[in-house]
């Protein structure tokens, strides 16, 4: 049994992750974490009435000797310290929270190396999103003119999404940086052309009714290619989280991207 702590269990993704761990035959929920929680036991919440596991509000309460994996769906302000805590206490992190800077990732990877422990930071746990990033990287070898549109619910805190940035990074690995479009173009409304990542434009849409969606648009003389993925329900991410929890024990370093465990 893989023993799991879920951080951010009161959020939408954390709630689904908690249910996934409970329902999985090979996982055992040994605790949940949220500094704002008032409960002492998860069973105090009606939907988890049958599960008498501890609710932790601070790190000092956590018995890390009883945990193998730390699932994190919290907030950008907390993800760095949460991941660092897990690594330093021998708990393998599976991080779905966005907001880590490149420098923070490098620092966390160094801690993992020193502690000889593996983990995973995943911009997206949806298998369709992981495949989209891989397909986009292949397409960019032949279609260097590309823009990204990501669409999410209107409660999302960060823009662009971690998935869009990860997609741009993967494309940049194989694409020669160059200026797209008219070199003399001017924005008559600031921001109309979107954010810029190494010459690629990223556009963020925030509307009610959406969950998580992304399009990567490639253009070339006389033709175009669009790659799109849609996540209509947050439950779609749980299969990827389950794969990560099951396989992260084989990781020898702090990996970035679910594709590294597939």
Concerning whether 152 is annotated as a catalytic residue, the answer is yes
**Paired tokens of 145:** 């003119």
Residues contributing to the annotated binding site:
8-13, 34, 41, 96-98, 122-125, 153, 162-163
Q: How far apart are CA 6 and CA 31, in angstroms?
A: 7
- From 16, 24, 152, 213, the catalytic residue: 152
Residues 6+ apart with CB under 8 A from 69: 2, 3, 4, 5, 91, 92, 93, 94, 245, 248, 249
Residues contributing to the annotated binding site for NADP(+):
41
Q: How far apart are CA 262 and CA 255, in angstroms?
A: 12
Residues contributing to the annotated binding site for (S)-2,3,4,5-tetrahydrodipicolinate:
153, 162-163
Q: How far apart are CA 94 and CA 111, in angstroms?
A: 15
- From 3, 19, 84, 156, the catalytic residue: 156
**Paired tokens of 31:** 């605790």
Residues contributing to the annotated binding site for NAD(+):
8-13, 34, 96-98, 122-125
Pairing of strands 223-231, 212-220: antiparallel
**Paired tokens of 17:** 């992750």
Concerning whether 156 is annotated as a catalytic residue, the answer is yes
Please choose, from the candidates 2, 9, 3, 65, the residue with its C-alpha nearest in 3D space to the C-alpha of residue 33.
9
| Distances from the Cα of 18 to the Cα of 8, 11, 55, 122, 152, angstroms | 9, 10, 12, 18, 23
Task: List residues with catalytic annotation.
Answer: 152, 156
């Amino acid at each position: 049994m893989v023993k799991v702590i879920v951080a951010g269990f009161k959020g939408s993704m954390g709630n689904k992750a908690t249910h996934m761990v409970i329902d999985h035959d090979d996982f055992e929920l040994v605790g949940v974490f949220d500094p704002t929680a008032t409960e002492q036991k998860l069973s105090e919440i009606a939907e988890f009435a049958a599960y008498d596991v501890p609710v932790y509000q601070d790190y000092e309460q956590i018995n890390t000797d009883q945990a193998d994996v730390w699932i994190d769906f919290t907030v950008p302000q907390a993800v760095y310290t949460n991941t660092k805590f897990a690594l330093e206490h021998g708990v393998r992190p599976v991080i779905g929270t966005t907001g880590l800077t490149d420098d923070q990732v490098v620092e966390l990877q160094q801690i993992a190396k020193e502690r000889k422990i593996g983990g995973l930071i995943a911009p997206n746990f949806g298998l369709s999103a992981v495949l989209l990033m891989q397909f986009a990287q292949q397409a960019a070898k032949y279609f260097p003119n590309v823009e990204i549109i990501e669409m999410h619910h209107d409660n999302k805190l960060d823009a662009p999404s971690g998935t869009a940035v990860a997609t741009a990074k993967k494309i940049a690995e194989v694409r020669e940086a160059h200026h797209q479009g008219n070199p003399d173009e001017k924005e008559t409304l600031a921001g109309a052309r979107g954010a810029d990542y190494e010459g690629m434009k990223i556009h963020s849409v925030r509307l009610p009714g959406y969950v998580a969606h992304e399009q990567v648009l490639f253009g070339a003389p006389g033709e175009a290619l669009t790659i799109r993925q849609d996540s209509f329900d947050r439950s779609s991410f749980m299969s990827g989280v389950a794969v990560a929890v099951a396989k992260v024990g084989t990781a020898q370093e702090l990996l970035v991207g679910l594709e590294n465990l597939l």
